[in-house]
Every structure is written in C-alpha cells, then in structure tokens.
A and B are shown apart, each in its own frame.
Chain A
Amino acid sequence: MRIAILALQGAFEEHQRMLHSLHVETFLVRKLSDWQQPKDGVILPGGESTAMLRIMKDEELLLPIRQDIANGLPAFGTCAGMILLAKEVENDTRERIATMDISVLRNAYGRQLGSFFVDEEFKGIGNVPMTFIRAPYITKVREGVDVLSSHDGHIIAARQGKQLVTSFHPELNEDTRIHQYFLNMIQE
C-alpha cells in the first residue's frame, strides 16, 4: 500500500511517522507531478487550512485532488484536513476540496486557550486519546455520513464512503488505531 500525504504546510511528518510505524509506504505531495504518482489513499494533515488552500490553488492541485477523491480515492483529513474536505464551512467561504457532505465550524473551541485533551469513544475502536488544537467540529451531517465520535454534543469524527475526518489529531500520540482504521477502510 502507498499513501500520499499532502505536505504544503503543517504536521505532515507526524502522519508519515505514524504510517511508517504501521509499515506503510508514503510519499509527500507538494506539486502536481507528486500527486500524479500511483496511490491507494491520501492524508490531509493538520495545519492552517488557509495556507494549504492558497498553495493548493496556485500549484493547480485543488481540482485534481477533488476529482480523485470524488472518484473514490480514500481520504483521511485531520483538523485542517477536515475543513478541506467539508462541503460547507460556516465561517469561511474559501474554495476547498469540498467532497464530503458535512458542515464544519472553524476554530469552534476558540483560540489556543481553548485547546484540550480528552479520552472519548470512537465507533468500532473504543476509547481513544484525542488532542484538539484550535479545532473545528462538525455542525451538520447529510445523508450517507456515518458519525463515528462525539464530544460534548458536537460531532468530532465522521465517515462517508471512503472519506474519514477527525477534528482531533491522532498523529500526535503513539496510538495507531485511527490510522489503522483508515488503512482498513482502504482495503474494504
């Protein structure tokens, strides 16, 4: 298996380290020719979605990525990655990948003082440690979206077909179960 990791800005190395610990091959995507390599899935990491979108558009990566995910390429977005995949962002009108039928609120927990840890139930896995950094959450899901985890009444993880999103950062600790969940999704 070979997974593309979007490496325009943010915590892409952490995802790479995670996948390597699961013995999965990865490559980093910074420009169109990187993206055109064969791949079984893509990870959209945490970071600043505004920065990633700016570079994605200028490098003409946005449309090809959107097209491939719409055509069934498995995708996993964490935090900013979730914002990139959402069809609607309540407090942001920037153009994005927009392949998943969810509405998202950016910086939903406020500034850095609102960042937190929690141990919460994740459907099909059990309790997992979750790190939220200036995180978004999901305000609405449409038909076909499966809610995988909630915290304080807000949706923080969901799946639609081959797309997986989390508000939190499973790449920041040593627990590989969420990454393994994504790999299992690819093989289904």
Chain B
Amino acid sequence: MEDRTILNRNLAQMLKGGVIMDVTTPEQARIAEAAGACAVMALERIPADIRAAGGVSRMSDPKMIKGIQAAVSIPVMAKCRIGHFAEAQILEAIEIDYIDESEVLSPADDVYHIDKRKFKVPFVCGAKDLGEALRRINEGATMIRTKGEPGTGDVIQAVRHMRMMQSEIRRLGSLNDDELYEAAKQLRVPFDLVKFVHDNGKLPVVNFAAGGVATPADAALMMQLGAEGVFVGSGIFKSGDPVKRAQAIVKAVTNYNNPKILAELSEDLGEAMVGINESEIQLLMAERGK
C-alpha cells in the first residue's frame, strides 16, 4: 500500500472517539472546537437547510472554507459532489484535511465515483452496507461513515446502515476460506478486501456514524452499535442551545457505555432540532451513489 494511503487512514484513527461537526461560519467552527469537536465539516448550508431549499447543491465557496481553516486548529473537512473530481481537485488545492464525497450534495455522476487514489488528500465516503463500504475503500476512501439520512434528525437510517454493515462483517467472519471468493463476487468487491474483513472482523479503515444523530443518546446508540465516532450535521446548530448540545454529544461519545453519565448529559439541553420522520421525506439522499 502507498504511504499516502496509510497516512490518510492514520489521520482517521486520530479522529476516533470524537465528534465531527457541520459548521457554516468561522464563529460556529470556534464554538465546535471549544466544545471538543475532533474536526469540523465546513459547508455553506447544513443538510436540513439543503433539504428545505431544494435545487442543486454544490461544493462550498473556497473562500468560506478558508475562513473556517483560519479560525480553528483542528482538522477541517469539506464536501464535494459524488463523482465531481474537479471539485475535489479544488478542495485539495486549498489543503483541506479530508474530503467528504457526499450524497448530501447533488451527485455529479450517476455511474462513477471519484478515483480517490489519484489524490494525496484523504476521502471519507458514505455507505449503507458492507459492499458499498468496500467499493469506496477500493476506490481509495480512507474513512467510511454510514449514510444515515442527513438533515432529518431521525436516526433510524444510520442505525439500519450500521447494523447492516456489522452483521455482514460478522457473516464474512463465519465463512470458510473457500467461500470468500463467492462472497467477493456477491459484494462486487476485490477478494483482498473480503479476506481482510474475514480475518480481522472489521473494515480496514475507521468507520463513523452519520446522518440523523441529534441527541447524546443517539450518539451513544451509534457507538454501542459499533461506530468509532460520530458526525453531527444539522443536530447541533439547528437546536435551541448549540454550545450545550455540542459539549453533551462530545462527552456522550467518550462515555457511550455509561448510562449514568448519559443521563446527566441529556438533562436540560433545550429544544432538539425538530426533525422529519423517515416516512415524511421526499428525497432519500442515502440512495445516491451505490
């Protein structure tokens, strides 16, 4: 494996046990950093507003991203559209720490994802199941997150995707060596990746939860289901008291196995984001890019 791929996987390892927060201004970025975020995702509109606004959603203005890079010392991530390698080149040119090739934005290509091995800068990609996760890793992603359903405040899809990935990982572990070739065929991924998951019982890269996490309890749920950290998009800055909620979710990820602490953290957080139920949404972002 190339050095760059290993270094980029290593950065994701440093983010483990942490919360990555969506921010739209330098001010929000500073709030997120002070609250204990391990990284921020710079974007012009958080997913809930993208959903409300409709229309085509694209990479953010590089000037806006640079403003956020200047405001904080933690890693800064940004999103590009699925398959839009020119947007990714622009993000690499401004030395972003991680690119999210994201289904939250309007896809630019309905067949091909970005050839992420061509880049020096790392990529995180969303996945609903093990096949998607391994296909993205094969394309060069060095970190995976569940897709969930962004901008809804409804955790059901993130749960579904994490459970699906974990159960498929366990199933691979139970197969005989000679059954792995067929598994690779069914998952539509190279044998080596299937073999790695079989031998190690996990993905070869860090796996976070994303899409619909709104409360400390949601974050703890995802961690107990096997996430190694959490992305929170609309959940923080769409809530009544962003500072308090951000701090609470950070501590919930650290103490995800301690219900007593989680109870304290869940007290008095003010309004959570209103949210939309899965059955009420028109647009399933998770269906973008398989």
Contacts and interface: CB of A to CB of B under 8 A. Distances in A.
Contacts of B251: 55, 58
Most buried by B among A8, A30, A112: A112
Interface residues of A, number: 36
B38 A112 contact: no
B73 A107 contact: yes
Contacts of A110: 95
A134 interface: yes
A101 interface: no
Interface residues of B, number: 39
A1 interface: no
A51 B38 contact: yes
Interface in B1-24: 3, 6-8, 10-11, 13-18
Interface in B244-266: 247, 250-251, 253-255, 258, 261
Contacts of A169: 10
A92 B34 CA distance: 13
Given A112-B121, A115-B7, A117-B3, A54 B247 contact: yes
Interface string A112-124: 1101110000000
Interface string A60-88: 00000000000000000001100000000
A51 B120 contact: no
B18 A112 contact: no
Contacts of B69: 111
Contacts of B73: 50, 91-92, 106-107
Contacts of A55: 36, 250-251, 254
Give the secondary structure class of A's interface.
loop
B74 interface: yes
Interface of B: 3, 6-8, 10-11, 13-18, 33-39, 69, 73-75, 92, 95-98, 120-122, 247, 250-251, 253-255, 258, 261
List the 10 closest A-B pairs by CB distance, nearest first. A54-B36, A112-B97, A51-B36, A48-B38, A9-B17, A9-B18, A115-B7, A111-B95, A51-B38, A11-B13
Interface of A: 7-14, 30-31, 46-48, 50-51, 54-55, 58, 79-80, 91-92, 106-107, 110-113, 115-117, 131, 133-134, 169, 172
